[in-house]
Amino acid sequence: MEKTEMRNFLLTIVALTVLSWVEMGFAGDSPVPADKVSTPGGYDNLTYKAQRAGSVRIIVKVNVVVRPIGELSQAEAASQRDMIAQAQEAVLEKLSGHNVSNSYKYKFIPHISMTVDKTALDALLALPEVGKVEEDSAMPYNAN
């Protein structure tokens, strides 16, 4: 090999090595906790729908420990409702810079329904306050 060919070969090897390091750096971003998605088809299905339609309707379970209301005194039930409302509001506040619409906070259970795009879904799944996410879809009635 001539000097010029050898130099070009070595430059190519160095360039490919640097590019692979750069690519690995971008791939090192923290992954979305897709295990929080309980919809059939999982995270991939939800993100596909969100990207295809621009948004997807979901139900979010907020990480709040609750007891059945029938087991609580009136004061305990009121305290539990307040705790649920505060946790729901905290999640919505953390999503304030994202494309979230049609949100509805349930009063007696720690759930929120909302419409989100893929970026908002990813941000939501990264929140420690979120336990589970599933698609909000109509289920066929089965009388059997």
Dist. CA 97–CA 23, nearest whole Å: 28
Q: Residue 2 pLDDT > 80, yes or no?
A: no
Residue 17 has pLDDT above 70, yes or no: no
For the chain, the average pLDDT equals 86
Query: 40 in a domain, yes or no?
Result: yes
Task: Specify whether the CB–CB gap between 94 and 114 falls below 8 A.
Answer: no
In a domain, 49, yes or no: yes
* CA dist list (Å): 14 to 20, 21, 132: 10, 11, 45
pLDDT score, position 123: 95
Confidence of residue 48 (pLDDT cuts 50, 70, 90): very high
Range name among 6-20, 47-61, 65-79 with the lowest pLDDT average: 6-20
| 49, 56 Cβ separation under 8 angstroms | yes
The arrangement of strands across the sheet holding 130-135 comes to: 100-105, 111-116, 56-62, 130-135
Q: Are 112 and 64 in contact (CB under 8 A)?
A: no
Contacts (Cβ under 8 Å, ≥6 apart) of 49: 56, 135
Buried/exposed 101-139: b ≥16 CB within 10 Å, e otherwise: eeeebeeeebbbebbbbbebbbbbbebeebebbbbbeee
In a domain, 9, yes or no: no
Q: How confident is residue 142, by pLDDT bands cut at 50, 70 and 90?
A: confident
Residue 107 sits in which domain range? Answer: 34-135
Residue 15 belongs to a domain = no
pTM over 0.85: no
Residue 18 falls inside a structural domain = no
3-class SS of residue 78:
helix
Task: Supply the CATH number for residue 89's domain.
Answer: 3.30.70.80
Question: What's the number of domains the chain is made of?
Answer: 1
Q: What's the CA gap between 134 and 75, in Å, rounded?
A: 32
